Amino acid sequence: MSLPSRRHLAMCAAAVMGALVLGTPAGAADKPAIEVITHAGAGGGTDVNSRMMMLRSRRTLKQDMVVVNKRGGGGAAAMNYFMTRPADGNTIMTFTVGHAITMGKGKTKLEVDDLAAIARGTNDPQILMVNCKTSPYKTPEDFVAGMKKGDKLKFGGTQTGTIDHITVFLWAKRLGIPMPTYIPFKGGGELATQLVAGAVEVGTLNLSEAAAPVEAGDICPLVILAHEGMAPIPKAKTAKQLGIDLVLSTTRGFVTHAGVSAERRAALEAGLIKAMGHSLYQAYLVNSGLDATSPQPSGPWGEQIKSMVNQFGPALKEMGLVK
């Protein structure tokens, strides 16, 4: 499987926006529309993911769906709005790693127990990458051994207090070493460029962010923080394969209120899972550098949400980012 280019991703986003001129699904006239709350503006990654899910879910659920964009506070505005909606099963919120960080920071009154997981939509594992040409580490084992030995490395990520920043902290903690120097960049594209340029020795990236330099042989992925390896980068190993218990991803999925009936939650889950199994959504995943393992049912998705929130809160405190 080849890696996605920025052009492919841009085309995907444009196709989504063009495809969203949809008619009301048959049988939906007597049902209220489902609100799908996102924290992103129109055209943003989370917004596009939500709309891609909706393309077929409106049919599988036989119910209209409308996006409600609530921007601000790293997802806090969306979560606070979500709390005002009735627990009648007609509200879905797109929950991301950013929401989990905001909850960990205590920036919202929403708690994990207030949520009922429905289904995961995308999952982009965190990957530790190096400069193929200048790095002394040619294998994942070399990299881990070097860090444990005390090699002083500069890590790059996207801004402070993000999943990348937390990843570097937790990686070092699992290895039993001090937090490395962390240099924040504005985005993954800039980070990948600076890793090639030598501004940092290690980049904390998603595969899609470094597609071009990985294919060109400029950046080498070494450690995948996921349960399983990834076909496009067979030489990289998971942290677990290296004896390190750390799984972290940039992820998005869907939740509703904990008070929604079990029957309604099951119906929502079945509808979303079926919709995301459709070729339209699967093509979106491929063009985003992901695969068919991204959509997951409520069980594993709910456990992932709990794991993120439970890890992020203590980590942010230890990092001095939360009082």
- State the CATH number of the domain containing residue 167: 3.40.190.10
Same domain, 151 and 80: no
* Residues above pLDDT 70, as percent of the chain: 91
- Report the C-alpha gap between 323 and 317 in whole angstroms: 6
Which of 242, 262, 287 is the last residue in one of the domains? 242
pLDDT digit string, tens, across residues 173-218: 999 999 999 999 999 999 999 999 999 999 999 998 898 999 999 9
Same domain, 261 and 198: no
Phi-psi region of 269 (alpha: psi -120 to 50; beta: other; left: phi over 0): alpha
Amino acid in position 253: G
Same domain, 231 and 82: no
User: Nearest-CA neighbor of 76 among 95, 91, 49?
Assistant: 95
Q: Does 110 score more than 80 pLDDT?
A: yes
Tell whether pTM > 0.85: yes
- Report the C-alpha gap between 274 and 122 in whole angstroms: 15
Q: 165-169, 286-290, 305-309: which range is least confident on average?
A: 286-290
Same domain, 220 and 286: no
* Residues above pLDDT 90, as percent of the chain: 86
Task: Please check whether residue 323 lies inside any domain of the structure.
Answer: no
Q: Does 11 score more than 70 pLDDT?
A: no
User: Nearest-CA neighbor of 184 among 169, 170, 173?
Assistant: 169
Considering only the C-alpha atoms of the chain, give the largest distance between any 2 of them, rounded to a whole number of Å. Answer: 66
Residue ranges of alpha helices (H) inside the chain are 6-19, 45-60, 76-84, 97-104, 140-149, 163-175, 188-197, 211-216, 262-276, 279-287, 298-318
Same domain, 12 and 99: yes
Which of 242, 274, 305 is the last residue in one of the domains? 242
Same domain, 158 and 59: no
- Average pLDDT of every residue of the chain: 92
Same domain, 103 and 39: yes
Amino acid in position 141: E
Q: 42-51, 78-87, 111-120, 247-256: which range is least confident on average?
A: 42-51
Question: What does the block give as tokens for 249?
Answer: 């991803």
Same domain, 82 and 166: no
Question: What local confidence, expressed as pLDDT, does residue 50 receive?
Answer: 96
Question: What local confidence, expressed as pLDDT, does residue 28 receive?
Answer: 60
Q: Does 8 score more than 90 pLDDT?
A: no
Same domain, 148 and 226: yes
- Residue partners of 10: CB distance under 8 A and separation at least 6: none
Q: Does 141 score more than 90 pLDDT?
A: yes
pLDDT band, residue 10 (cuts 50/70/90): very low
- Report the C-alpha gap between 149 and 78 in whole angstroms: 44
Q: Does 219 score more than 50 pLDDT?
A: yes
Same domain, 131 and 155: yes
Task: Please check whether residue 156 lies inside any domain of the structure.
Answer: yes
Task: Please check whether residue 1 lies inside any domain of the structure.
Answer: no
Split into its structural domains, the chain has a count of 2
Question: What local confidence, expressed as pLDDT, does residue 44 receive?
Answer: 87
Q: What is the CATH number of the domain that holds 259?
A: 3.40.190.150
**Bridge pairing between strands 34-38 and 91-96:** parallel
Same domain, 130 and 189: yes
pLDDT digit string, tens, across residues 42-84: 888 899 999 999 999 999 999 999 999 999 999 999 999 999 9
Question: What does the block give as tokens for 49?
Answer: 């993911």
Which of 209, 242, 275 is the last residue in one of the domains? 242
CB atoms within 10 A of CB 155: 25
Q: Does 23 score more than 70 pLDDT?
A: no
The residue range of the domain holding 202 is: 124-242
Task: Please check whether residue 200 lies inside any domain of the structure.
Answer: yes
Question: What does the block give as tokens for 263?
Answer: 């029957």
Question: What local confidence, expressed as pLDDT, does residue 17 receive?
Answer: 46
Question: What local confidence, expressed as pLDDT, does residue 19 receive?
Answer: 47
